[in-house]
Amino acid sequence: MKLFSHHEFDNHEQVVFCHDKTSGLKAIIAIHNTHRGPALGGCRMYPYASEAEALNDVLRLSRGMTYKSAIANLPLGGGKSVIIGDPHSDKTPQLIRAMGVAVERLGGRYIVAEDSGTSVPDMLLMSEQTRHISGIAEKFDADGKRRSGDPSPITARGVFVGIQAAVRYRLGRDDLQGVRVAIQGLGNVGYHLASQLRAAGARLWVSDINQAAVQRAVDELGAVAVANGEIYDQAVDLFAPCAMGAILNDTTIPRLQARIVAGAANNQLADKRHGQALMERGILYAPDYVINAGGVIDVCYERSDMDPQQVMEQVDGIGDTLTEIFSRAEQQHKPTDVLADQLAEERFS
């Protein structure tokens, strides 16, 4: 297996292979860059088909966290960890605690949080072994409501303000009344987002492989249910991908009728060239790691003494960052994802 010559290797500072014989833990922690601060990033548990696939994922995702934290102006670097295993059948308290030990051994250079396949209860178990953890504290919203450490509602809020900024920029509108939005994925982030959009007067078209989630959106939000494969073809103003990555590709981009793509999913572009393809079709793309930074802002400030109101102000700043990226991209005739990378690199280099 290649490492320093691996195609996803990008001058990562440290890549650690973690093993615990008793619990069966097999994990990789990648620290991409710590120039702005300790490397914060989620711990993903997934039944990778191979160790090479796990390495690929952790290298790519940790790099992405460096860009995400830098563009959000957080005092953090980028890191990520992956546990090789099925979260439904292989996860045990022993294994999660062993992961906590592995994180602790890095002495604070890496701060762990939840990601797909791990949750707040897992982080609480890890916290028995390490202080270098976030995404666990019970918090209060700006309106005083108690909520768990799960960052999804804050991520959704960031995506919502990002959508407002994109609609203002591309459609020249200050409100979302009647704006047609297609949402792919009604999970933790997607459903919160759908509710906020509906409350703001948007009309919704939704798809999810989980039919119960679709039905709930139909019943509670008056959304139109769309078959999974057809979400790209809807006659809407905006497409919000909130499920998986790589959904903007050679097959889907020509089908999009939306003038804006703005959603929570990570790694939406299948390849770098697809940012260019979106621009050529006149579609305004809100770069994924810029618009979905609400979650990392939330977990970052769990470790500071900022009050909820200040955190919300920082999340709402995602709209201004996007507007800056949109206008710089237009001036320079470059895709928005290229401009976002440039802006992030200015901040972490």
Residues 36, 187, 218, 270: which binds ligand NAD (CB under 6 A)? 187
- Where are the alpha helices (H) located in 134-184, listed in sequence order? 152-171
248 scored as a contact of ligand NAD (CB under 6 A): no
Query: How far is the C-alpha of 42 from the C-alpha of 61, rounded, in Å?
Result: 9
Q: Which of these, 114, 117, 126, 121, lies nearest to 18 by C-alpha position?
A: 126
User: On the CB side of 102, how many CA atoms lie within 13 Å of its CA?
Assistant: 27
Q: CA gyration radius for the chain?
A: 19
Q: Given the rule CB under 6 A, which of 33-41, 148-156, 197-205, 252-260 is the region that contacts ligand NAD?
A: 148-156
Q: Which of these, 265, 215, 217, 255, lies nearest to 235 by C-alpha position?
A: 255
Cβ proximity to ligand NAD, 83 vs 98, nearer residue: 83
Quick check: 108 and 133 in contact, CB under 8 A? no
Q: Given the rule CB under 6 A, which of 140-148, 207-215, 217-225, 320-328 is the region that contacts ligand NAD?
A: 207-215
Minimum gap (Å) between residue 302 Cβ and ligand NAD = 13
List the x/- string, 273-312, binding to ligand NAD by CB under 6 A.
Answer: -------------------x--x-----------------
Q: Given the rule CB under 6 A, which of 15-23, 182-190, 253-261, 337-345 is the region that contacts ligand NAD?
A: 182-190
Query: How far is the C-alpha of 101 from the C-alpha of 283, rounded, in Å?
Result: 46
Which positions ≥6 away from 150 have C-beta within 8 Å?
114, 119, 120, 135, 188
Cβ proximity to ligand NAD, 77 vs 117, nearer residue: 117
Minimum gap (Å) between residue 296 Cβ and ligand NAD = 7
252 scored as a contact of ligand NAD (CB under 6 A): no
Q: Given the rule CB under 6 A, which of 75-83, 162-170, 183-191, 215-223 is the region that contacts ligand NAD?
A: 183-191
Minimum gap (Å) between residue 177 Cβ and ligand NAD = 26
HEC readout, 221-233: HCCEECCHHHHHH
188 is in an annotated binding site: yes
Cβ proximity to ligand NAD, 24 vs 87, nearer residue: 87
Indicate the pairing of strand 180-184 with strand 146-147: unpaired
| Six-digit token string for 321 | 């960052």
HEC readout, 17-39: EEEECCCCEEEEEEEEECCCCCE
Residues 55, 82, 264, 315: which binds ligand NAD (CB under 6 A)? 264
Cβ proximity to ligand NAD, 1 vs 212, nearer residue: 212
Query: How far is the C-alpha of 179 from the C-alpha of 206, rounded, in Å?
Result: 14
Decide if 145 is catalytic: no
Cβ proximity to ligand NAD, 129 vs 241, nearer residue: 241
Determine the length of the chain: 349
End-to-end Cα separation, the chain, in angstroms: 29
Active-site choice (2, 80, 91, 272): 80
155 scored as a contact of ligand NAD (CB under 6 A): yes
- Residues in contact with ligand NAD by CB under 6 A are 116, 151-152, 155, 184-190, 207-210, 213, 228, 242-244, 264-266, 292, 295
Active site residues: 80
Binding residues for NAD(+), by number, are 185-190
Binding residues, by number, are 185-190
